[in-house]
Structure 1
Amino acid sequence: MAIGLAEEFLLDPTITYLNHGAYGATPRAVFEEHLRWQRLLEAEPVDFLSRHGTERLAYSRQILADFLGTARDNLVYVTNGTVGLNIVANSLKLGPGDELLTTDHEHGGIDRLFRFSAEKSGFKLVHCPIPVPLTTQEDMLDCFLSSVTDNTRAILISHLSSPSSIVFPVKQICNFAKSRGIMTIVDGSHVPGQLELDLEDIDADFYVGILHKWVCAPKGCAFLYARPQMQCYLDPLVVSWGWEPKVPGPSRFVEFHEWQGSRDISSFLSVPAALDFWSARDWPGIRQACRDMAMAARQEVCKMFGTEPYHPDSPEWHGQITCAPLPAGTDANDLLHRLRHEDGIDVSVDYFANNPRVRISVQAYNDWSDIERLLDALERQVKHAHSRATAQ
């Protein structure tokens, strides 16, 4: 299995990089476009930001909106998914007696955000356990939606879970929630560029996606989507000129959230170049090849250690990123360190539901030799760890 785009990226060739899901990696051509925008910024900062920033951002948002299946002014750029979800969390009008339903598969930083919000505002954050291994999407939906009560006012759900890499049926969840008058907040950090995404088809009230991951835009680039009827509920996280603009524009949502004072917007302006990079190649074919390689890698790890995967092999459950359980008792932190510093492999090793797992991300710069190096290192390192534990 080979995709053949390694030369298009700036990654250190001495490192086997299987951790694209952490921060992404930017192609050389997109990085050069990012530098071009930064040079224009430095050549005339006032022209760049004050005189042309709004129109350039609007153009970039239009290109992004076309890609995501929505209107331009339903989107604002933010620097990362955490910022986008902070805007939503800080705008929630929930209090004592209200419940926000989520899962035990959410990103740790986002879980902390909503626990903080719950403690501050007095609402109840309800974690519905989604046990693995999963069987069917219908069973998952039955499990999750059975936790909805008369007090459920909002749902927070990952589209593709960061800790477990499972793709959840968010469209069905949003449809159910709408029928009950429940607000929906979707953390789609890993989805843009990795899975097909049509925001208006999913029809969440709020959706956050990161662009410096699988779209491979420069770092510090994400978006917040808000359904038009829900935009008025979002307060600005940073109050600035957009709260009382000198000349009101067509979208209060954009005005409230786009201008946050002085900041480098060049990563946002580079999004069209990132989308052009992929559209000039066989992006659907590349994604499928990466998905196949990720699934084959997961199968090999599970076979090696006799562990049970989190979900069936069927394609609705996964993308280019997948998790494989490791043997019970594996010290995930020690294994992570040894893989990186002894074997030159950067891959996510952590715990999910208190059990160790490896999360393998596959992007267009990877080939099967990267997976073979990981498999060899995992077998050797886990065996050595067991020997060390026995000797002690």
Structure 2
Amino acid sequence: MNTLKRYFLIDAGVTFLNHGSFGATPAPVFRAYQNWQRELERQPVEFLGRRYSELMAGARQSLATYLGTRADNVVYVTNVTLAVNIVARSLKLGPGDEVLATDHEYGACDRVWRFLARKQGFTYINQPVPLPLTTEAAFVECLWQRITPRTRLIFLSHITSPTAAILPVGEVCRRARRDGILTLVDGAHAPGQIPLDLEVVGADFYGANLHKWLCAPKGAGFLYARPEVQDLLEPLIVSWGYEAETPGASRFVDYHEYQGTRDIAAFLSVPEAIRFQQTHDWDAVRRACHDLACQAEHYIRELCGQPSLYCNDSWFGQMVSVRLPDEIAPDSLKTGLYEEFRIEVPIIKWNNLKLIRVSFQGYNSYRDVNYLLKALRQVL
């Protein structure tokens, strides 16, 4: 796996253990991205005026095949926060309605729901999910303790941001469908980190980032919607796709794909990101990165004398969170690790716990784990 390091543009002087925040794009994918930008600038009218629909359709088909769904069920968006806003602002939620989530959700998306709840009068509930995570059945039952006849939507991360846990979203979606409840999955960390088949997951709506674990350029994400619920979604940005003069086969795509003049190079580079991972046996890369995460989790817990957040390693993938001693000052620790050791790793405050979240990608090695442990022994 060390051979992959040469493909990435990461500063060689930094031990980069934070792929989870913004990802990193391999040089071949980044070249494809820049080539698309040059192609646009060579003849902007040709590119955006005549070729736009064809180019986007091709990129969307490549993505849909990768995700196990039809091209008419996905649209490109810049990030998952935008995808969540599209769904949240489209649903006619009001007084008496409830949206149920866990207390492990990403802060930006929590803010979307809290903002709209205050504005529209519905209730946003973050159900506490205790640690350590034990079984999928226990997780689902914990979530269902807060289901009521007023629950309109379940909002759930596929892989949580603060705790790096892979949640059983498929089982949640199946049970929610049975109970007549809509589901929206935040898949920010899923594509590229775990195998993903959207038809198997069964969510009504699924938003994700592609710039993280798929290693596409920044500004590439998607929104998926089942055909049966696509008409519930209104365009967040109203443009030429609304009342389209030449409608496409999918009103969902018409409404949400074209948002005025913008750089679509990141979207068009996604097929190259998919090819890069397929070419480099990404299943093996994932396994190697998971092994690194297991090693890091074990030795950091041993160093800090803290219990695991998980009952076994099936709950996390290439990213893992470990509890730190309560007396740690998170900001000081993060600054010290970077300024003294040039280690880029997030230190998180979550639910009165202090966590270190370590991410591993194809450019990392056991040397990075050992260097992090060496630094932690000096600063803790």
Q: What is the Cα deviation at residue 4 of structure 1?
A: 2.7
Q: What is the Cα deviation at residue 151 of structure 1?
A: 0.9
Q: What is the Cα deviation at residue 236 of structure 1?
A: 0.4
Amino acid at match of 2:81: T
C-alpha distance in structure 2 between counterparts of 1:98 and 1:267, whole Å: 37
Q: Secondary structure at the match of 1:37?
A: helix
- 1:271 corresponding residue in structure 2: 270
The answer to whether 1:349 aligns with 2:358 is no
C-alpha distance in structure 1 between counterparts of 2:187 and 2:139, whole Å: 18
C-alpha distance in structure 1 between counterparts of 2:373 and 2:204, whole Å: 41
- 1:385 corresponding residue in structure 2: none
- 1:323 corresponding residue in structure 2: 321
C-alpha distance in structure 1 between counterparts of 2:56 and 2:362, whole Å: 28
Q: What is the Cα deviation at residue 214 of structure 1?
A: 0.5
C-alpha distance in structure 1 between counterparts of 2:349 and 2:54, whole Å: 45
The answer to whether 1:308 aligns with 2:298 is no
The answer to whether 1:252 aligns with 2:248 is no
Please say if residues 73 and 251 of structure 1, whose CA atoms lie closer than 8 Å, have aligned partners that are also in contact: yes
- 1:137 corresponding residue in structure 2: 136
C-alpha distance in structure 2 between counterparts of 1:330 and 1:144, whole Å: 31
C-alpha distance in structure 2 between counterparts of 1:352 and 1:300, whole Å: 21
Please say if residues 3 and 286 of structure 1, whose CA atoms lie closer than 8 Å, have aligned partners that are also in contact: no
Amino acid at match of 1:148: I
- 2:148 corresponding residue in structure 1: 149
C-alpha distance in structure 1 between counterparts of 2:255 and 2:294, whole Å: 42
C-alpha distance in structure 2 between counterparts of 1:90 and 1:339, whole Å: 40
- 1:87 corresponding residue in structure 2: 86
Q: What is the Cα deviation at residue 197 of structure 1?
A: 0.5
Amino acid at match of 1:42: E
Please say if residues 3 and 289 of structure 1, whose CA atoms lie closer than 8 Å, have aligned partners that are also in contact: no
C-alpha distance in structure 2 between counterparts of 1:352 and 1:254, whole Å: 37
The answer to whether 1:198 aligns with 2:177 is no
C-alpha distance in structure 1 between counterparts of 2:216 and 2:151, whole Å: 36
- 1:298 corresponding residue in structure 2: 297
Q: What is the Cα deviation at residue 203 of structure 1?
A: 0.9
- 1:49 corresponding residue in structure 2: 48
The answer to whether 1:207 aligns with 2:210 is no
Please say if residues 191 and 209 of structure 1, whose CA atoms lie closer than 8 Å, have aligned partners that are also in contact: yes
- 1:389 corresponding residue in structure 2: none
Q: What is the Cα deviation at residue 136 of structure 1?
A: 1.4
Q: What is the Cα deviation at residue 313 of structure 1?
A: 2.3
Please say if residues 159 and 167 of structure 1, whose CA atoms lie closer than 8 Å, have aligned partners that are also in contact: yes
- 2:66 corresponding residue in structure 1: 67
Identity of aligned residues (%): 47
**CA displacement, residues 20-42 of structure 1 (integer Å, 9 cap, x when unaligned):** 00000000000000011000000
C-alpha distance in structure 2 between counterparts of 1:163 and 1:373, whole Å: 23
- 1:26 corresponding residue in structure 2: 25
Please say if residues 99 and 123 of structure 1, whose CA atoms lie closer than 8 Å, have aligned partners that are also in contact: yes
**Structure 1 stretches of 4+ moved >4 Å:** none
Q: What is the Cα deviation at residue 333 of structure 1?
A: 1.1
- 1:390 corresponding residue in structure 2: none
C-alpha distance in structure 2 between counterparts of 1:208 and 1:171, whole Å: 15
C-alpha distance in structure 2 between counterparts of 1:28 and 1:268, whole Å: 16
Q: What is the Cα deviation at residue 200 of structure 1?
A: 0.6
Structure 2 gaps of 5+ residues are: none
Q: What is the Cα deviation at residue 74 of structure 1?
A: 0.3
**CA displacement, residues 144-163 of structure 1 (integer Å, 9 cap, x when unaligned):** 11111111111000000001
- 1:128 corresponding residue in structure 2: 127
Structure 1 gaps of 5+ residues are: 383-392
C-alpha distance in structure 1 between counterparts of 2:118 and 2:233, whole Å: 20
C-alpha distance in structure 1 between counterparts of 2:326 and 2:136, whole Å: 27
Q: What is the Cα deviation at residue 245 of structure 1?
A: 1.0
Q: What is the Cα deviation at residue 376 of structure 1?
A: 1.1
C-alpha distance in structure 2 between counterparts of 1:54 and 1:340, whole Å: 44
Please say if residues 323 and 359 of structure 1, whose CA atoms lie closer than 8 Å, have aligned partners that are also in contact: yes
C-alpha distance in structure 2 between counterparts of 1:172 and 1:191, whole Å: 16
Please say if residues 174 and 184 of structure 1, whose CA atoms lie closer than 8 Å, have aligned partners that are also in contact: yes
C-alpha distance in structure 2 between counterparts of 1:251 and 1:136, whole Å: 39
The answer to whether 1:227 aligns with 2:226 is yes
- 1:359 corresponding residue in structure 2: 357
The answer to whether 1:371 aligns with 2:369 is yes
C-alpha distance in structure 2 between counterparts of 1:368 and 1:4, whole Å: 13
Alignment counterpart, residue 333 of structure 1, candidates 331, 334, 337: 331
**CA displacement, residues 121-158 of structure 1 (integer Å, 9 cap, x when unaligned):** 11111110001112212111111111111111110000
